[in-house]
Amino acid sequence: MNVDIYFDNFIREDGVEIGGGGIGTQLAFLCPLLDELGYTTTVYQSHPKHTQIKFKGATVIGVPDYPGPNRPTEEVVKHFRAIAKERTPHAERIEIFAADFFSIRNDNPLAISIMQGLSWDAPIEILTAKRMFRTAIGEKVLRFRKQLQGLEKFENCYNRVVADLSFLNWYRSFRGPQYEGKVWYNPNPAITTPWDTSRDSMSGNAPVRIIFARRLVPEKGTRMAIEVFKEILLLYPNIEITIAGEGEDKPLLEQTFANEPRVIVAAYKTEEATEFHKHFDIAFVPSICGEATSFSILEAMSAGCAVVASNMFGIITEIIPMHNGVLCFPKKESLLQGMKYLIENPVERLKMQKNAWMVAQRSFSIEQWRNGWKVILEEVVEGREYARKCLRKRSKRFHYLM
């Protein structure tokens, strides 16, 4: 059976590197699993020109079509689906919309949408540039509308996979327990890796190594990170900070710390993230809006880092406060106190590092995630006739104040 996957940013323009943040990382794990299970997998993505490459058993087709101000995302998805249907016109196929925001309402009983975290809880200055919504009343209207739009997008498919229990509970608060369609919870995975025993014998005089490895964009807390890093650099001479990633705020970070030898701005390959994190003691994840199960945290924990993170959506299912990390409000002072605690308490920090590693291996292992997807795919295929009947009786969509 064919599997067609749709997303706007999976393999970068160089044809090698993985893009798309956590969604791209999940696809990088999903493609080889689908190949092992005997599916013929094709990923359709935006690209400057028509391309076709192989990636871990999947064919990745680049299409010169991007969502933007004059090109609605729904039209791009429709275009990708049309190309997929043209390539295999008579084949029954599983369709996977890699993100619920990159999906359209459809009647395919084999279609699956993946929910990888929301964004409408962001500060208003990130959420919109329109002045009409930057008022007390305007902001309330916009946030209500965004929630209804999120509800609509999530219900585009009969089959839905969520990587975030907080989102699932938010959805239940709207629909109650008897919602239409099927929903599975399968949190994002961590690469299993042995505990680095060299951590047990590290000198108390060694520098405390801090890593901030994210997409370097405002919603991931880059501006907050700058303020916190300035403070701890003044307070503690024996720390080293590495900032790693790509994004619009990278030049700002480079400029801010250009004259600080204890701060390095680096890059790493997505597929090497866990190994990269093994060189650090504390991972800093100051997201200021919704996350699913954050890959940045999973990679850090699996590598043996203690984590200081904001208490946003799916992150609270990864971090048990003061067990494997420190949960903070997404505010400078709260995050600063979390960092100070781990820097000043090396014995407690090492305990949290070990606990973080254990949580990653036992609760978020890649094998557990793979088994979850095997069950999902099996149930989707076996339940397609029942799903087809349900789709014929699906509730009509009401107007969502678009």
Residue-wise pLDDT tens digits, 356-388: 999 999 999 999 999 999 999 999 999 999 999
pLDDT beyond 60 at 218? yes
Distance CA 204, CA 346 (A): 7
Same fold across 2-189+366-392 and 197-363? yes
Among 283, 292, 285, which Cα is nearest to 100's?
A: 292
pLDDT for 398 equals 54
State whether CATH 3.40.50.2000 applies to domain 2-189+366-392: yes
Assigned superfamily of 197-363: Glycogen Phosphorylase B; (3.40.50.2000)
Each domain of the chain, given as residue ranges in start order, spans 2-189+366-392, 197-363
Question: Does residue 391 contact residue 106 with C-beta atoms inside 8 Å?
Answer: no
The total number of residues shown for the chain amounts to 402
Distance CA 206, CA 203 (A): 5
Which region among 122-136, 225-239, 297-311 has the lowest average model confidence (pLDDT)?
122-136
Distance CA 214, CA 222 (A): 9
Residue-wise pLDDT tens digits, 154-168: 999 999 999 999 999
pLDDT for 231 equals 98
Read off the pLDDT of each residue in 33-45 and give the average, rounded to a whole number.
98
Strand pairing report for 306-310 and 282-285: parallel
pLDDT beyond 90 at 335? yes
pTM (predicted TM-score): 0.93
Q: Which amino acid is at 15?
A: G
**CA trace torsion 261, 267, 273, 278 (10° rounding):** -20
Distance CA 142, CA 330 (A): 21
**C-alpha Rg value of the chain to the nearest Å:** 22
